[in-house]
Amino acid sequence: MNIEDYIESGVVEAYALGLLTKNEQANFEKQLSEIPQLRHELKTLETQLEYMAFENKVQPATAVWTEISNRIHEMPVTADGNNASKDSAKNTDTLEIYGVSNTQIRVHKYWRPAFIAIFILSKIFLALAIFYYISYRQSAKQMERLELQLKAQQIQGNVK
Partner 1 sequence: MLRGEGNAVVAQLYTQYGAMLFGYILKFVPEQKDAEQILIMLFSKLGHQLEEAFTTSLNVYCWLQLKTRELILKYSHINTDTTTITECVLLLDDAPQAAKTAFVEIYLQGRSRASVAAMLDTTEDNVTGLLFSALSIIRKKLL
The DSSP element (H or E) to which 78 belongs, if any, is none
Between 60 and 113, whose beta carbon lies closer to partner 1? 60
Between 106 and 112, whose beta carbon lies closer to partner 1? 106
Closest distance of CB 127 from partner 1, Å: 43
Contact positions vs partner 1 (CB under 8 A): 8-19, 21, 29, 32, 42-43, 45-46, 48-50, 52-54, 56-61, 64-65, 67-69, 71-73, 75, 77-78, 80-86, 89, 92-93, 96-97, 99-101
Contact 83, 77 (CB under 8 A): yes
CA dist., res. 87 & res. 118, Å (int): 32
Between 52 and 159, whose beta carbon lies closer to partner 1? 52
Contact 68, 96 (CB under 8 A): no
Rounded to a whole number of angstroms, the distance between the first and last alpha carbons of the chain is 134
Closest distance of CB 39 from partner 1, Å: 8
CA dist., res. 124 & res. 71, Å (int): 35
Closest distance of CB 31 from partner 1, Å: 11
